[in-house]
A and B are shown apart, each in its own frame.
Chain A
Amino acid sequence: MGSRNKISSSQLFCLLLLSRGVLSVACGAFGGNIGSAALSAAIALIASILLSIPVLYLGKDGTAELQSGAGRAVSGIYAIYFFYSVCVTMSMFTVLREETSGMRISVILVPILMAAAAVYASYKGIEAIARCGALILFAVASAFVLLCLSLIPKSDMLNLPPVGSYKVADIIDNAVIMVGEQSCIPAILFIYPHIKGSVKKPTVLWLFVLFACVIFLSLFITSILGDYALSQPFPVYSWARLSSFGVLQRLDSIFLAVWTAGVFVRLTLLLWVLSVCIRYAFGKKPSKLAAPVFGVAALITAVAVPFNTAIRSLVLNPGLLLFATIFCCLVLPFALILKRRLGK
């Protein structure tokens, strides 16, 4: 493994924050209610820390277990999970585009370009993805700071609902979505051998920063949109549409641009992890074809999502996503730990 395939702890942090953050922005695809999202985020933070423990416990040697014997089958299951995650990400991208621009721009062309770019970038290796991710994270963070600053005068504390008015069902629904979207936690298992330095610290820091941002944004957005947020499929996007800075109007275009760049990094990372899974399961040759093959399959799924309710409800299913994430964060790592123990 050359130095080109090594990333630092801070790059890992940036990559995880960006990859997971872009999904929070499009939470409306799952039908979540932003009103009580702050409380759900606190629950999701605790759940995510618990889910990351087995992966972090496996550590660098976890990948050795994945490349031999029954571990290969586990790698295959992880590949299916990451493929599902790619489908979810691509579908969110097409659904948000559908909601924000109708179908004026070709529903197929943009995802094709996105998938092609992501497949190409995934061949460049984790180091290139991490460098790109850090740059894009800087752009995303700058854009959000700009949007927040421009919208501060529009916030009204009366729009924040009292905690007593939160519905338990909403809190649980949001927490399910937030934990279900944590596909970055099992991905750490495959990135682990490529990291110079500590993994535990950036992972824990990532979870705290991520959910702190989610809590802040959900409260801030609710204080601006009030009950209007309930009528919007993508409240974060609707929030961005209200922004303006002096003569600069309609800053939502900035939001869409940086969000698209963030989705690109997430897709690239997932496709790279997916090809690593295939390499562990089936060897080097098939892994070279993994990114384009799964990329095309995800593209077909994502393009079908806006038109087919059955596919949409299957792909963007919070319950299924939560089950898959818990299975890959807890059950499979425990199986690997067991394998290691029995092997000794």
Chain B
Amino acid sequence: MAEVRLEKVTRRFGSVVAVDNVDLQIRDKEFMVFLGPSGCGKTTTLRSIAGLEKIDAGRIFLADQDVTDLPPGQRGIGMVFQSYALFPHMTIADNIGFGLRIKKVPASEKAGRVRKVAELLYLDNLLDRYPGQLSGGQRQRVAVARALVIEPAVLLMDEPLSNLDALLRMQMRAELKKLHHAINATTIYVTHDQVEALSLGDRIAVMRDGKIVQCDVPMEIYDKPANVFVGSFIGNPPMNFVHGEVTSQEGRLMIKGQGFTVTPDPKWSKALADRKRVILGVRPENFRVHFQEPAGETNGAQAAVEVVELLGNLKLLTIDLAGSVLKVSVEPDTAVTAGENVWLTWNEDKLCIYDSDNEWAITPERPEVVSA
């Protein structure tokens, strides 16, 4: 059992607060991803868990043990560094076996464990080589093997794929996911790549300015970003944001903006009742593009297509909606040309609404749970 718990962890560098009063609980065997732009504190948080950073305040627990004051080697963690940090003066076998040698594991047992991990990561025929003789992908696997051989309760990975080329990165991503299921460790993975985060994480903690902005399962993070920052950081292209004003017409709540009107679901009524200005967030795929004025739809908004980009699996449109520029994705075989006038409708189920002042999400009322 290796649950990881951070309690009010703070780490400062001079006047800069790298990790700001972070509380977090990571479940046993969970794959947790720290995601955020550079300088958001994700790596510092990881290094604090590893024990490589002394924290200024707070406690860190691994498997219910307070490890705040323990050195890295006694915390039961294994770490994969962004630079791989392989020891250049040792063979691959010695690199992988390093942790076992320090822990004084008998030579015979050591050789067996090294071989087993090497096989798991397809390194068994490279054991006599030196790091300098391996390719980037191989080195990356050695770094993972070296961290795994000591059978850590928590595996920490700091942007392990960022030094690989795109194709290799995709392969290794799948390998890592497979590996996580094969080993019995809680994994914490730091990345600035939202695709990696979405594909790998059981949960994602999105960080900014030393704080966790949102921590949830990938689908929730994608569909319901907690604030404008998360929405624009995750998704490629990012979420569209347009300003609107809440009005009421014949008793129905409406959001009106430049050139469009949206009628939100009644579940929003309470949350929006006292508000005036809001920001609407819509993912590019949550628009529908019509070439005639949609019948039966009251909220079709007229807009002009500015740019059409064929990206293979989709067509990305840049659309001017009365001054706001939107990114809209449609099926690749949609016949649309630049300069065309179209009507847009929104998938109102997937609408996100944000406070226009603090940019945090306004949450609709949850449907009432019928108690049994």
* Chain B binds chain A: no
Which residues of A line the B interface, CB within 8 A? none
